[in-house]
Amino acid sequence: GLMMERIRHAFGATEVLKDVSIVAEAGKLTCLLGPSGCGKTTLLRLAAGLEKVQDGQIYLQGRMVGDGKTGLCLAPEKRGIGLMFQDYALFPHLNVYENIAFGIRNLTPERRTWIDAGLERMGVAKHRNSYPHVLSGGQQQRVALLRALAPEPEILLLDEPFSGLDVTRRAQVREDTLNFLKECGVAVLMVTHDPEEAMFMADHIVVMKSGKVVQAGTPVQTYFHPVSAFVAELFGAMN
Ligand code: ATP
């Protein structure tokens, strides 16, 4: 899994993370939940190695990959992470199969079988040879998820993976994604500002506010035992 300890981060004079510690366990889905601007994406980018640690430590599978003291910052491609952002960012000049295979260094028969099974499993097998522009948003999301998982990452980092989808599609894609991730057994750290999404998907919820963790626990704990009015109101706004 992933462990981030005592992370502080500033852009210029603005402190956006103020002593944040989180854990995302193997086989579990951890949601970072909080309002816009509270620092969720910055934390995810630090985990990925897209942002250099200024203060604190990051461990992946027990190995230190980032350290503010020594300036250690392992490159993203060496971290064994899968990344998926809200815009999916599929390569327009590659077809669906090629997009998914892109990050696999050694495309063994076993990995090819995995891709085909994944396409089947996520209901996009008929688009195996299609180019991204002909796919719906939901189909692109599914392909992007397969691409992120194809190199067998130890941890998957998702930033608002469903926010680009219209509300009618979102519930189904969420459910399919959740089932697929459970089968994969990968550790997932997912950013969302939607409390309902966190309740539905997470094993563990980390609530953030203004660069700090204000509560961490299971969905049931956070929903039924909010530690503050802020957390209560966050879930109270759920419909
Ligand atoms: P959102 O849900 O809107 O994406 P967030 O919780 O993910 O919000 P971040 O994107 O981590 O929040 O941003 C936290 C704060 O840091 C914001 O005030 C943002 O304006 C600021 N910030 C983020 N990236 C940079 C940057 N590269 N330079 C300067 N300020 C930044």
Nearest protein Cα to ligand 1, atom 26:
11
Q: Minimum mean pLDDT among 36-40, 166-170, 231-235: which range?
A: 166-170
Integer Rg of the chain from CA: 18
Query: What pLDDT score does 55 carry?
Result: 98
Ligand 1-lining residues (CB < 6 angstroms): 11, 16, 34, 36-42, 193
Q: Distance of CA 107 to CAs 90, 111, 115, 199, Å? A: 19, 6, 10, 37
pLDDT tens, position by position, 104-136:
888 999 999 999 999 999 999 999 999 999 999
Q: What is this structure's pTM? A: 0.93
Contact residues for 182 (Cβ-Cβ < 8 A; gap 6+) = none
Reply yes or no on whether the pLDDT at 37 is more than 70.
yes
The stretch 40-47 carries a mean pLDDT of 96
What value of ipTM does the predicted structure carry?
0.94
pLDDT tens, position by position, 73-108:
999 989 999 999 877 789 999 999 999 999 888 899
Q: How far is the CA of 142 from the centre of ligand 1 (A)?
A: 26
pLDDT tens, position by position, 170-211:
898 899 999 999 988 899 999 999 999 999 999 999 999 999
Q: Distance of CA 238 to CAs 209, 214, 216, Å? A: 17, 19, 18
Report the run of H or E that residue 96 belongs to, with start and end: helix 96-101
With the most atoms of ligand 1 within 8 angstroms of its CB, the residue from 7, 20, 41 to mutate is 41
Reply yes or no on whether the pLDDT at 237 is more than 90.
no
Per-residue confidence at 169, pLDDT binned at 50, 70, 90? confident
Nearest protein Cα to ligand 1, atom 20:
37
Contact residues for 88 (Cβ-Cβ < 8 A; gap 6+) = 140, 141, 143, 144, 164
Query: What pLDDT score does 165 carry?
Result: 85
Query: What pLDDT score does 189 carry?
Result: 97
pLDDT tens, position by position, 146-161:
999 999 999 999 999 9
Atom of ligand 1 nearest to the CA of 41: 7
Atom of ligand 1 nearest to the CA of 39: 11
The stretch 205-233 carries a mean pLDDT of 96
Q: How far is the CA of 135 from the centre of ligand 1 (A)?
A: 30
Q: Which amino acid is at 230?
A: F
Q: How far is the CA of 66 from the centre of ligand 1 (A)?
A: 20
Nearest protein Cα to ligand 1, atom 27:
11
The stretch 67-78 carries a mean pLDDT of 95
Q: Distance of CA 231 to CAs 29, 193, 208, Å? A: 20, 12, 9
Per-residue confidence at 54, pLDDT binned at 50, 70, 90? very high
Contacts for 209-213: CB closer than 8 Å, 24+ residues apart: 209/34, 209/35, 209/38, 210/18, 210/38, 210/39, 211/15, 211/16, 211/17, 211/18, 211/20, 211/38, 211/39, 212/18, 212/19, 212/20, 213/20, 213/21, 213/22
Per-residue confidence at 239, pLDDT binned at 50, 70, 90? low
